[in-house]
A and B are shown apart, each in its own frame.
Chain A
Amino acid sequence: MRLVTFTRLNLLTILALSMLALTPQAHAASATRATEFKLDNGMDVVVIPDHRSPVVTHMVWYRVGSADEVRGKSGIAHFLEHLMFKSTDKIPVGEFSKIVSRLGGQDNAFTGHDTTAYFQRVSKDRLGKMMEMEADRMVHLRLDEKEVLTERNVILEERRSRIDNNPSALLDEQMNAALYLNDPYGTPVIGWYNEMEKLSRQDALTFYKHYYAPNNAILVVSGDVTPDEVRKLAEDTYGKIPANPDVNPVRHRPSEPPPIAARRLELKDPRAGNYSMQRYYLAPSYVTANRSGEAEALDLLMKIAGSGTTSRIYKKLVVESKLASSAGGDYSGYGLDGGTISLYAVASDGVSLPKVEAGVDAVLDDIVKNGVTEAELARAKRSYLADYVYESDNQATLARRYGWNMAVGRTVADIEGWPDAISKVTTDDVKKVAAKYLNPRASVTGYLVPDESGVAKAEDLPPPSPNGVLR
C-alpha cells in the first residue's frame, strides 16, 4: 500500500505497459472507452468516462518537450514547466497549487523529450475551476526575474537529486549522449548543468510563447464525467483562447545518420556499489514504425527476452548460469523520433562484466537465429492483455495512456486498435525485428564500475553554481 504514488518516476514503465498491447479479448473486456473531439481553436479533447468514484483527472498535454529546445538551452522545457506554477494576471505568485489544494485537489506536472503535461486530480464538481485556471496559464503567465532565479536553483537541486547523486543515472545520461549522434534525445530532459545554470526568464518566455497555445495542446479528462459535460466546460474556458497561427503543427527534428559503429563506455564511480552493464539499441517507435507492426513485434520480443523472472535473459543468466544477480530488458516505443531497446545486468559477485555481457549476447543471438516459440508468444500476448485490463481500474493511468499517445501524434483509433495489432504478430515477425534491430552498430554498451581510486570524485560534480544563494 505503501507505494501508492510512484507514478512520476515510474511513468515510463507505466507508459511502456500502456503502449503495449492488447488482444481481441482485451478489446471485448474494455470496449471503446474514449470520446474525441476538437474545439474550434484547434485544441484536441479526449474524454474517458469512469463513473465508479466522483473524481476526475484533468490533464493538458502540450506537443512540445525537451527535444524541441534550441541547442544551448537544454532544460528550458522542464524549467518552464516549473515556472508555470508561478503567477498569471489572475493568480498571485505561488498560489496555483495552493488554490488546487484548498479545493481538495492534487496537482503536478512533468516533462519528457516529446511532451509536457500538467494535471490535477480533483472532485468532479471542481473540474470547471481547474479548466479555468489551466486555460488562464496557457496564455497569461507572468514571470518575475527574482522568482525565475530562485526556481533555477530548485531545478539545479532537482538535477543533483535525480542525476548527480546517482551513478546509474549518470551512466544513463552518458549512454544516451553516445547513442544519439544527432537526434536531441541525446540531451537529458532536465538539461546539462552548465546550460541549466544560465537559463533566463527570457529563454522561458520565448519557449512559452512559441509553443503554448490551444492548437498545440490536448485536453484529457478521465473519471466521473460525460463528453457533453466536458465539451461545455472546455468551450467556456480553453475555447475562448484564440489559436496561435505561428505554432507549427509539424515538428522538425534533426534525424539520426545511419549508425556505423558500436559505442562503448565505462563509468568508474566510487558510489557504484555493484558491477553492472546496460545496453541500448536504436529502434523504431510506434510512431516511426508507422503501423507496420514492427513496434508491436518489438514489444513482444522484449517481453519474451527480458521482462521479469520468466524471461529468457533472467532464466539464462540469473537462474541457470548465475552470471548475474539480476538481468532483464525492455522496449520503449513511445518516442516521436524513435524507440529504444534496453538491456541490463548486475554481475554476480566475482563475475567480470565482459563475461556477463557475453551471456546476454548469447541469449540475443539465439533469438535472432532461432526465434521464439509459439507458446512464448501466446504467453506474452496474454500478459499484455491482462495489463490492459488491470489498467482500466485506474483513471489516472488511462488519462496518461491517451495523452501521451496523442501528444506524439497517434490517434484514439490507434490506441484502441491495439488489440488487433498485437494479435496479428507472428513468431516470424518477432524473429525479423530481432534480426533487424538487435544490431550492434546501432547500440551503446555501458559499464558501471565501482572505483575507490577517486577517479570520478563525486564532490567535483557538478561545478558549483555561481549564483549561490539568492535573497
Chain B
Amino acid sequence: MLSLPRGIATVVRTVARLNVAVALAMLAFVLIPSFSQPAAAMNIQQIQSPGGIKAWLVEEHSVPLISLKYAFDGGNSQDPEGKAGVANFITAMMDEGAGDLKSEQYQERMEDLAMRMSYDDTKDSLYGSFETLSANRDKAAELLKLSVQHPRFDQDAVERIRQQLIANLIYADKDPGKVAMREWYAQAFAGHPYARPSSGTVDTVSKITRDDLLAYHKRIFARDNLKVVAVGDITPAELGKLIDDVFGGLPAKADLLPVAKTEPIPGGSQRVIDMGVPQSVAVFGLGAMPRMDPDFMTAFVVNHILGGGGFSAKLMEEVREKRGLAYSVYTYIQPDRYTSILVGSVATKNASMAESLDIIRKEMKKMAENGPTQADLDAAKSYLTGSYALRFDTNSKIASQLLGLMQEGFGPDYVETRNKKIEAITLADAKRVAARLLKPENLIVTVVGKPAGMKSVIPAALRPVAAPSRG
C-alpha cells in the first residue's frame, strides 16, 4: 500500500524518548530470522498442499483471525533496466482491481470483508501480507486469489498511483535521511542493481508502463520462488486448500534475472550532499558477513554491542548519553541475499556532524582492536536470548518471523536452537569477529545537510564510473 506523505496524513502529537529508526535498530534485523525463545508450546507444522505448495503453519484458535504472509523471491533488484521502481509500483497496485472487479469495487469488497492485504518490496523479495477474520476466510481468500492471479492494472489506476508515487518521491527528495540512505547505496554498490533507488526516481517512475507491470507480475508471481507461512485460526487441511486456491494458478517457474554477488566498495569514502536543513543526517556503513557465514551470529552480537542495542550500545552511550550530540544513532546488520552490510545512521545539528562521525569512527576502531568486554558480551547475550520471545507475541509477528527463517533456508527447529547458538559465543569469538567485521578504513559515509567543516572525500578509484545499472 502507499504510505501517505509524512506529516500530512496524521497529526503527530506525541513525542517519545526514542524514535522509530532507533527502535528498528534495537530490534535489529527486521526481516531476518529473529531470535528468542517463543512460547514453548508453539508448534510449527510443515505442510504441503494437495497441489504441492509447501507452507509452515502455527495453529492458534483462541483469536478469530488468520494471518498469511508470503514472499516471492525477486524484489526491486529485478526491476528492468532504466525502470527502477516497478516492484514498488506493483506493491501499490495490488488492491487496484482484479478479475472483473475494478479498483473501487475491489476496495469496497475488501472493506466489506474487513480483509487486510498489503505488499512491500525489498531488494530481494516481494512480500505479501493477508489477514482475515475467520468468519470471512473463504470470501477473503477468493478476493486475494483474484489479486494474486489476475490483477487488472487498469490504465486510470496506473496513472493515479503513479501521481502518488511521484509525490512521495518528491517528498523523499527533500528528506535528508531518505536522501542519505539512497545515496549511500548508490555510492556503496555503484554498478550493481543494489545501487538503484528502490522506489525509483521521478524520471523512472514517469516511464513505467502498464506493460512493465504486467511483465513483472508474470515473471515474479510464480510457485517455485514462493514461500508461505500462516498463523491463526485455521487447520492444516483448510490451509492446504486455501493456498492452492490462491497460488495454485500461478506459473510453475519464475523468470528471474541473475543478480551478481557483491560487496560495498572497499577503501572508504565520504560524500557530502548539500541540503538546507538545520540538522544533518549521515548514513555510514561497510561490508559484513553473509547470513550463512559461520561468523554471522557473532557479528550480529558484536553489532548489538556497538550500535544495535539502543541505550545499551556504545555509540548511543558516547554520542547521545555522554555528549548530547544526537537524538538517534544506531547501526544494524542487513544480510541481503547477494551482499551483507553493517550500516548505521546519526542525525545531529550541522555544527556537530564532524565530531559525531569522529566519535563513531573511534568507537568502531576501538571495538575492532579490543573487542567487547566480557560484561558487554554477557549483557548482549542476555538481552538477545531473553527478548527472543517478544518477537512471537502476535499472530502477525510470528508469521513474519517464520517467513524470514524459511526464506533463509532454516528449518522450524531454528526457533528452538537459536538461543543456544548465541549462548555458545565466546569472548574470543567476539574479539576475532569484531576485528574481521569492523574496518573503519572501509567506511562509506554519506552526509546530507550543511555539516560544518566537512567536504566530500572520494578516492579517484572509487568514483562511480557510470549511472547505476544492472551489472
Interface residues of A (CB under 8 A from B): 1-13, 29, 52-55, 78, 81-82, 85, 94, 97-98, 101-106, 108-113, 121-123, 149-158, 160-162, 164-169, 171-172, 176, 189-190, 223, 270-274, 276, 278, 280, 308-310, 315, 318-319, 322, 325-326, 328, 330, 332, 340, 342, 344, 346, 348-349, 379, 382-383, 385-386, 389-390, 392-396, 457-459, 461-462, 464-465, 469-471
Contact = CB atoms under 8 A, between A and B. Distances in A.
Contacts of B278: 160, 164-165, 458-459, 461-462
B374 to A, nearest CB: 13
A150 B390 contact: no
Contact of B11 (A12, A29, A101, A471): A12
Interface string B341-370: 000000111111001000000000000000
The 10 closest A-B pairs by CB, nearest first: A104-B386, A168-B7, A386-B114, A153-B324, A1-B400, A160-B279, A97-B311, A150-B324, A110-B16, A158-B327
11 contacts: A1-B69, A5-B24, A53-B38, A121-B390, A164-B279, A189-B15, A308-B111, A322-B160, A325-B167, A385-B114, A392-B65
Given A1-B31, A389-B133, A340 B11 contact: yes
B17 A110 contact: yes
Interface-central residue, A105, A276, A390, by most chain B CB under 10 Å: A390
A383 B67 CA distance: 17
Contacts of A385: 114
Contacts of A348: 163
Contacts of B325: 153, 157, 469
Given A104-B387, A161-B279, A325-B167, A168 B16 contact: no
B10 A13 contact: yes
Interface of A is mostly: mixed
B396 interface: yes
B390 A55 contact: yes
Contact of B450 (A322, A396, A459): A459
Given A5-B20, A113-B13, A273-B173, A166 B6 contact: yes
A346 B8 contact: yes
A108 B176 CA distance: 25
B17 A123 contact: no
Given A5-B20, A5-B27, A111-B14, 19 more contacts: A2-B30, A8-B19, A11-B14, A12-B10, A13-B10, A55-B393, A102-B386, A123-B389, A154-B327, A166-B175, A280-B11, A328-B9, A330-B10, A349-B163, A379-B112, A386-B114, A390-B116, A394-B394, A461-B278
B69 A85 contact: no
A112 B15 CA distance: 7
Given A103-B382, A310-B111, A12 B30 contact: no
A261 B277 CA distance: 34
A459 B390 contact: no
B349 A160 contact: yes
B108 A168 contact: no
B13 A189 contact: yes
A12 B276 contact: no
Contacts of B195: none
Interface in B165-197: 166-167, 170-171, 173-176
B110 to A, nearest CB: 8
Contact of B394 (A110, A326, A393): A393
Contacts of A459: 276-278, 350, 450
B328 interface: yes
Interface stretch (B56-64, B213-221, B430-438): B56-64
B30 A390 contact: no
Contact of B348 (A149, A157, A167, A346): A157
Interface stretch (B143-151, B235-243, B315-323, B410-418): B315-323
Tell which of A1, A154, A155, A348 has the most Cβ of chain B within 10 Å. Answer: A1
Contacts of A150: 321-324
A372 B114 CA distance: 20
B383 A470 contact: no
B107 A344 contact: no
Contacts of A121: 390
A13 B321 CA distance: 30
A309 B354 CA distance: 45
Contacts, number: 313
A383 B111 contact: yes
Contacts of A109: 16-17
Given A161-B347, A165-B278, A326-B5, A81 B323 contact: no
Interface string B391-420: 011111100110110000000000000000
Given A153-B324, A160-B278, A459-B277, A110 B14 contact: yes
Interface residues of B, number: 108
Contact of A168 (B8, B160, B321, B347): B8
A274 B120 contact: no
A470 B324 contact: yes
Residue in A276, A310, A318 whose Cβ sees the most chain B Cβ within 10 Å: A310
Contact of B277 (A4, A85, A271, A276): A271
B272 interface: no
A52 B390 CA distance: 12
Interface string B26-42: 11001100001011100
B164 interface: yes
Given A8-B20, A172-B7, A280-B11, A272 B174 contact: yes
B362 to A, nearest CB: 15
Contacts of A157: 279, 324-327, 347-349
Given A85-B17, A121-B390, A160-B278, A101 B348 contact: no
B122 interface: yes
Contacts of A465: 349
B400 A389 contact: no
B339 interface: no
B104 A310 contact: yes
Given A97-B310, A157-B325, A273-B173, A172 B12 contact: yes
Contacts of A9: 12, 19-20
B164 A12 contact: no
Contact of A274 (B5, B69, B322, B395): B5
A274 B175 CA distance: 13
Contacts of B64: 29, 389
A149 B351 CA distance: 18
Given A98-B311, A103-B386, A1 B127 contact: yes
Contact of B393 (A53, A165, A349): A53
Highest count of chain A CB atoms <10 Å: which of B39, B278, B311? B278
Nearest to B116: A390
Contact of B311 (A94, A110, A152): A94
B379 interface: yes
Contacts of A53: 38-39, 389, 392-393
Contacts of A165: 176, 277-279, 281, 347
Contacts of B397: 4
A256 B166 CA distance: 40
Given A157-B326, A274-B170, A457 B379 contact: no
Contacts of B348: 157
Given A172-B11, A189-B13, A319 B349 contact: no
B256 interface: no
Contact of A108 (B23, B164, B392): B23
B341 to A, nearest CB: 16
